[in-house]
A and B are shown apart, each in its own frame.
Chain A
């Protein structure tokens, strides 16, 4: 069977599985719709959290970025896992004890304020839509490249599937579909990683393999890659090019942002008890770490293979995958010196005479994971499997985000905001309608992606870091924190972060370089400064304004014990 046939079969099978699971686990009450009846086991919730969290960016994008960034790619590895330690130690147990349905619920009740609730609702919806647009684009890329259907049709199919199980099943349906999706995506990620590790280093465990010996050259693989980088004028792979303070700030923003993302936090509302919440964060990180420790290995294998396959080879002899990616515009080649060979070189490349060599090949780093099995000549079924895994990652995350949007509308805006007398049945209908509405908006964003999808991801993390994280931490660990402090803290944190990102990404993109940044911190890392601002403003303002009422102190005492 060819790649397209394998892909159709595997994607079809996995979609049938998701629909079957969704029919079996549909929601009958708002409690089941919002938090799966708080009956999810810690292990299942860990798996669901892992699928919820690992998006198209983790599955398709991350290893590619790392293979282009080398050591600097560590910001994603540490940033997107370290946040789980913060979740387990500082957030999840207390949010579970509080026992609400949504994150704005906690903010609104703890700060006895509709303003705080509305600020949180706006942040939750904005962060979720930002994120979901990227997922739908991932769905479109996979369909377009492997099933050769137009991107629009691909997005429509993806929307249909998510619509079906998110609207029918709510959190309960999403949770059990995510468990199935995790199994599909981790299998799809590890199979090619193990194949590659065996081929290149002879070690079946990729996490060890990339520190092992390259069988072709007999030297350590990382040494060989550093050698290739040196020859071709790239910076050494194992040491970075970014400034230390920027690496520090980006890692912190991603960690804190992860812990502050509403679709992740809400997953810990679904387990039965406080101790299950703690345990379930542990399981979540185990399942995430399986992929995240394999990703840097995949990055090294991909980088080595790519350089070996294309560097100084005749353009006319490029393999089939090369021209297919050229067709979708994600690889481009421009024979600047007219020698018919592909020069894939870094900024410091010099020829034998010392004259600079120009780079002729541009590769979109998002395609590395998808192209990797083909570059290494793995069997066709592995390529189909990777496509199915990419779809699982994109759909599971999209569903979790859509649920946040739908519950923010039906629960926070209607039930707790403008229409408190809404019946249980009415609220459930509103939740389903808003889930459907959110899917349609997400689909529109997927078909007509705003040109700045990758840029706005910095927004999602920056805003989560600068808004929710400090407000919730202070709400748990400081009894003195009051409404005024929390609201002003959130507003200052968000405004600063948003202004910085908008300025460098949209208003004045030409100035987006380290000499213009504050303290050398890039827009990706500014969430850290926003978070600190939020903490400082909140703590200062709360000292000069009246303390919270006595029942809030009781509430804080209540959530501090299981």
Chain B
């Protein structure tokens, strides 16, 4: 039997897309927890804790500092994960300018 190349491509693309969606869902879960969770919904409870050695109540710090730092990290994690996934699927060639 000669393998059907289009079916192979379609299957590879589906795998690629599913993996991408898994990454996106996990990173967005963290995004939600640090901003809406720590910074808004549970801010009062976290404010009873203080970051040691500073004047920051923890919830207030997440809302005005921590969430922003985490957002930056999340994007770079996604960049690294997707670059690796692109390489694995041979999608990192410079052909699509």
Contacts and interface: CB of A to CB of B under 8 A. Distances in A.
B24 interface: yes
B62 to A, nearest CB: 9
B68 A289 contact: yes
Contacts of A207: 65
Interface string A545-562: 000000000000100111
Contact of A560 (B17, B28, B55): B17
- What is the size category of the interface that chain A forms with chain B? 35 or more
B28 A278 contact: no
A101 to B, nearest CB: 16
Most buried by A among B55, B60, B74: B55
Contacts of B16: 560-561
Nearest to A299: B64
B41 interface: yes
B60 A71 contact: yes
Nearest to A73: B64
A90 interface: yes
Contacts of B57: 222, 238
Interface in A232-274: 238-240, 244, 247-248, 251-252, 272-274
A272 B75 contact: no
B48 to A, nearest CB: 11
Given A84-B71, A238-B47, A248 B60 contact: no
Contacts of A13: none
A211 B62 CA distance: 13
A429 interface: no
A62 to B, nearest CB: 12
A89 interface: yes
Interface in B52-97: 54-57, 60-61, 63-65, 67-69, 71-72, 74-76, 78-79, 82-83, 86, 89, 91-92, 94, 96-97
B97 A273 contact: yes
Given A77-B64, A239-B47, A85 B56 contact: no
A422 interface: no
Contacts of B64: 66, 71, 73-74, 77, 296
Contact of B54 (A77, A220, A282, A292): A220
A275 interface: yes
B79 A282 contact: yes
A282 B81 CA distance: 13
Nearest to B12: A561
26 contacts: A66-B64, A71-B63, A74-B63, A77-B64, A81-B71, A82-B67, A82-B71, A93-B82, A208-B54, A210-B55, A211-B54, A211-B55, A212-B54, A222-B55, A222-B57, A223-B55, A238-B60, A239-B43, A274-B96, A278-B79, A281-B75, A282-B76, A289-B68, A289-B69, A560-B17, A561-B89
